[in-house]
Amino acid sequence: MENFFGKMPQQFHYQKDTRVISSSLLDNASKPFYSRFGSFQRKDAQCQEFVKRVIMSHLFKIIMISIVSVNAFFVVLWTDYNTRYNLFTLCEVSELIFVSIYSSEFCMKLYVDPINYWKDGYNLLDIIIIIIIFIPYSLRKFKGKHYPYLNIADGIQSLRILKLITYSRGIRTLITAVGQTAYTVASVIILLFVLMFIFAILGFCLFGVPDRGDPNNWGNLAVAFFTLFSLATVDGWTDLQEQLDNRDLALSRAFTIIFILLASFVFLSMFVGVMIIHTEDSIKKFERELMAERHVTLMEEKQVIVKRQQEEVSRLMQTQKKGDYKSFSELVENFKKTLRHTDPMVLDDFGTSLHFIDVYLSTLDNQDTTICKLQELYCEIAHVLSLMLEDLPQKKQSQSSEKATEQ
pLDDT tens digits, residue range 189-224?
888 899 999 999 998 888 887 777 888 888 888 889
Q: Which long-range contacts (C-beta less than 8 Å, at least 24 apart) are formed by 242-246? A: 243/214, 243/216, 243/217, 244/207, 244/214
pLDDT at 11: 42
| Of 195, 203, 236, the residue nearest 220 (C-alpha) | 203
| Of 196, 333, 176, 200, the residue nearest 264 (C-alpha) | 196
Mean pLDDT of 78-97: 88
Task: Label residue 100 by pLDDT band (50, 70, 90).
Answer: very high
**What is residue 266's DSSP assignment?**
I
Task: Label residue 147 by pLDDT band (50, 70, 90).
Answer: confident
DSSP secondary structure string, 90-143?
HHHHHHHHHHHHHHHHHHHHHHH-TTGGGG-HHHHHHHHHHHHHHHHHHHHHHT
**What is residue 181's DSSP assignment?**
T
Cβ(183)–Cβ(275) below 8 Å:
no
100-114, 334-348, 385-399: least confidently modelled range: 334-348
Amino acid (1-letter code) at residue 31:
K
Residues of the chain above pLDDT 90, percent: 9
pLDDT at 359: 67
Mean pLDDT of 119-147: 87
Q: What mean pLDDT is reported for the chain? A: 77
Task: Report pTM.
Answer: 0.54
Q: Which residue has the higher pLDDT, 268 or 127?
A: 127
pLDDT at 368: 82
CATH topology of domain 44-167: Four Helix Bundle (Hemerythrin (Met), subunit A) (1.20.120)
| 402: number of Cβ within 10 Å | 9
pLDDT at 8: 40
**Is the pLDDT at 26 greater than 50, yes or no?**
no
Q: Which residue has the higher pLDDT, 351 or 2?
A: 351
CA distance 196 to 229: 8
| 305: number of Cβ within 10 Å | 16
State pLDDT tens for residues 169-189.
778 877 877 777 778 888 888
pLDDT at 330: 66
Task: Label residue 18 by pLDDT band (50, 70, 90).
Answer: very low
| Identical topology for domains 44-167 and 183-268 | no
CA distance 147 to 331: 84
CA distance 255 to 205: 12
pLDDT at 78: 86
Task: Label residue 334 by pLDDT band (50, 70, 90).
Answer: low
Taking the mean position of all CA atoms in its chain, how far away is CA 254?
46
State pLDDT tens for residues 390-401.
777 776 677 777
Radius of gyration of the chain (CA): 40
**Is the pLDDT at 97 greater than 90, yes or no?**
yes
**Is the pLDDT at 162 greater than 80, yes or no?**
yes
CATH topology of domain 183-268: Helix Hairpins (1.10.287)
Residues of the chain above pLDDT 70, percent: 76
Cβ within 8 Å of residue 240, ≥6 positions away? 217, 227, 230, 231, 256
pLDDT at 107: 92
Break the chain into its structural domains and give their ranges: 44-167, 183-268
